[in-house]
Structure 1
């Protein structure tokens, strides 16, 4: 009788929600970002940021392309459509790369830099320390850390350079969808 009771106990414990496989935080983050696919939003720089190349220009993001393992988000500064954030997911780990293009669609000489999260992150926060490819391409960016936050109201893109007291932060209001901006430079060509 005791043996059957113990066997039943092991079966019940194995079926317990405590032992059930839980969804990775990165997968929750990914699904929540996919909800915005096809939508565009306007952003604002953090108040402390003073960049002449961004001053007075409309900042937009467009979650333009979503697949199981890749999300492309063009980030536009005024009529400059050169930037696309490319997120990829491999075994639950997310990578961020920056695809920069010229107006004719060709790659910029500095493109596809970024990093890969070292773990699953959080459902509303993913971080991307600079990878070796970035260090080889842009030596001064070898200690960069990018991060993205995402909740029901705000998507933020952020950058901290080691040794700098300044951060780059841009916040997009997810509660106010805007008209879809023009396609980024090079869209439709091999990307």
Structure 2
């Protein structure tokens, strides 16, 4: 439910200089992937089908979503792989209270009738929740300052990728760029 940490962690990993030099990642797909398990499960929760950490918090469903996106984008790794990475980071950050191995291990999906008071209570009383959101804010501010993202155009450019390139450029002795042309 608390999205800042879910967004910040995968983004900050790809800001590490050694990683940033080797891999160019579609940050928008990474962000959407990092939020997708909650978006999907919270939608199902409001339909009174499951609680907020249900089906989309399992490895099976995450890889199924990746496969569907990969097919829908006609094998576009530039979109599907960052989306997958974002979803995997989300699951990692939500451990241990998720149905990670569903449907291979059964889980009791309890429905929370009114989640808003529960979320507010967690945010106000649980230091771990507060700390992770503060860390998320600090990481996002670091990214904004380090990349000089002071306008909407700068942010859009940061998120935008060159559609002519596959996102993963491997740099060793030479740079390999795979064109989609």
Settle same-fold status: TM greater than 0.5.
Answer: no
| TM-score, normalisation: structure 1 | 0.28
Of structures 1 and 2, the larger Rg is shown by 1
Q: Which has the higher contact order (CA 8 A, sep 6+)?
A: 2
| TM-score, normalisation: structure 2 | 0.29
